[in-house]
Amino acid sequence: MDTFTHIVLGACIGEAIAGKQLGKKALVIGALAQNIPDIDILASFSLPVSADVLAHRGFTHSILFAILVTPILAWCSVKLFRQNEISFRKWALFWALQILIHIFIDAFNAYGTGWFEPFSHYRVSFNTMFVADPLFTLWPALAMAALLILKVTSKKRMSWVKAGLGLSGLYLVAGIGFKLFIDNAVHREIRDKCIAAEGYFTTPTPLNNLLWYVVVKTDSGYNTGYRSVFDSRSNIDLYYVRRNDSLLKPDAGQKDVGQLLRFSRGYYTVDKWHDTLVFNDLYFGEMLGWTGSQPRFVFHYFLTQPSGNKLIVQRGRFAGWNKVTLTAFFRRMRGI
């Protein structure tokens, strides 16, 4: 999830665990603690882009990392805040919950989270929530604002924490329900159209969990489309996209190609933009795909011009968004 979401979640969790002992300092420490796994962002200053996408949400988002750093952080906290008389066990609970909730929440979007690093490179990805979803973040954000305003002696503080975390939890559950609904629709579409599917995935479109991006994998490419939870018709309009993996053969031995193939988990296409060879990762969706056109993909990496790859994961996310495309987005979200 985005940094702000982790901040507000961490503040609420900090209040729940140590608010009575630390007062409003629990909000600040909690916000910092919730973002500990994202120290892997430091790797982006020294690693090539193709290696950086694998390093992010890698080892620092693993269960082993949580096990290793929790006692260290708890010991440091006991030394730094000894006047607050919080036990080592409670500090360990504080840090463990913050880190584990961070890596748990991150697994709900498409990027993939390395829970089992370094023993397995498998990335956990539930694909039920976009990386930034205002309706998930709103409730703990309101709770944090209230906690900053209320006096530390107020009996309403815990009620705000419960409301903020509880409503976010309900939204998370709703997203799981929506995904099951969308996945059932995809299964029917594969069956009714007799598609020789080798796999598929569904993931929410930006900033919501009502409109979903659908990708069905075949032996030579993908059928892509969109499905809203409010669609009244059962069929999904799918558009075929060729994989074009033969274009990779001259570059198959390059390190960045291997890293990108591993990161894409088998869902990629290769294009030529004029004289530039481009690797696309389908998990991050399409630019303006809901408009009915055949768009380019959000995640695109220039294989023949690697110096042009500064920010590749979300660099095409809002390209071309304007009043017209935003109106079309909301219209498609409401269903057809």
* 3-state secondary structure string across 146-158: HHHHCCCCCCCHH
Q: At what angle do helices 25-34 and 88-106 cross, to 10 degrees?
A: 50
Range of 265's domain?
Answer: 193-333
Together in a domain, 20 and 167: yes
Together in a domain, 85 and 233: no
- The pTM is what? 0.93
Together in a domain, 77 and 167: yes
Together in a domain, 308 and 278: yes
Together in a domain, 129 and 49: yes
How is the beta sheet containing 276-286 ordered, strand by strand?
A: 268-273, 276-286, 297-302
Together in a domain, 133 and 272: no
Residue 314 DSSP code: S
Q: Is residue 89, in this structure, part of any structural domain at all?
A: yes
Together in a domain, 12 and 99: yes
Together in a domain, 219 and 156: no
Give the range among 115-124, 274-283, 290-299 with minimum mean pLDDT: 290-299
The residue behind tokens 């066990």 is 89
The total domain count for the chain is: 2
Q: Is residue 290, in this structure, part of any structural domain at all?
A: yes
Q: Is residue 183, in this structure, part of any structural domain at all?
A: no
pLDDT tens, residue by residue, 181-216? 999 999 999 999 999 999 999 999 999 999 999 999
Together in a domain, 128 and 274: no
Together in a domain, 110 and 147: yes
Percent of the chain with pLDDT over 70: 98
Q: Is residue 182, in this structure, part of any structural domain at all?
A: no
Q: Is residue 186, in this structure, part of any structural domain at all?
A: no
pLDDT tens, residue by residue, 24-71? 999 999 999 999 999 998 887 888 888 889 999 999 999 999 999 999
Together in a domain, 169 and 239: no
Handedness of CA 134, 136, 142, 145 (dihedral sign): negative
pLDDT of residue 174 exceeding 70:
yes
Together in a domain, 168 and 209: no
